[in-house]
Amino acid sequence: MTTLLLATCNQGKKREIENFLKAGLVNIRLLSFADMNITAEVSETGATFAENARLKADYYSQLTGLGTLGDDSGLEVIALDGRPGVLSARYAGEGANDDARIQKLLAAMQGIVDRRARFVSAVCISRNGSALATFSGQVEGEIIFAKRGEGGFGYDPLFFYPPLGKTFAELTLEEKNRISHRALALEQLKKFLLHGGLAL
Ligand code: IMP
């Protein structure tokens, strides 16, 4: 049994990653920050999702001595030149909640006809402060004009996914985990782990 630390305090991401990896990797035990009593935070100073995922994975793997999975993700809106991008979590300022971020995005998109957007996720696996591999995934959709759905987290209620005719907040966890940006990145990570990439 291999133990892996999941380096996120975002409950929405944690739920999705646990659900995804537990379904495909029976020999992995996932620990969370709470399991390890970790309160230290790392500054997300990277210019890309991949850099930030790596900063998190490197930092917490060094801190704990455990193989560590870091995730960084966010929303890129084409008409806003890719914003909120790596600042997705801080779009409405530190300490703001999902609803404040959603209202800010709706205001920024007022009058904009081109509603195309994508979610991007990068996941990095590190050991002893050094990255072993980074994977990324993205999914295309459209920003709608008002929230729809109660599931998911973050910008999900505004992100309409044409192939299913629903927002991400209208999908079940299992449905989102079949098509999301995070699932596409995790699928590659799963293959890496199944082929002995962590080699503990
Ligand atoms: P971070 O990766 O913890 O820096 O934050 C990512 C932020 O991007 C979250 O707080 C959400 O606002 C947003 N985000 C990332 N992935 C998703 C997703 O799957 N659905 C909705 N919002 C997301």
Per-residue pLDDT reduced to its tens digit, 34-76: 899 999 989 999 999 999 999 999 999 999 999 999 999 999 9
Given the residues 35, 58, 71, 72, select the one marked as catalytic. Answer: 72
Shortest-distance atom of ligand 1 to CA 71: 2
Residue 200 pLDDT exceeds 50 = no
Judge whether 114 counts as a catalytic residue.
no
Q: Is 68 in the pocket of ligand 1 (CB under 6 A)?
A: no
Hey, which residues does 126 pair with through a beta bridge?
A: 68, 131
pTM for this one?
A: 0.95
Domain 2-194 has CATH 3.30.70.920: no
Measured from the Cα of 181, ligand 1's closest atom is: 19
Q: Whose CA is nearest to atom 22 of ligand 1?
A: 154
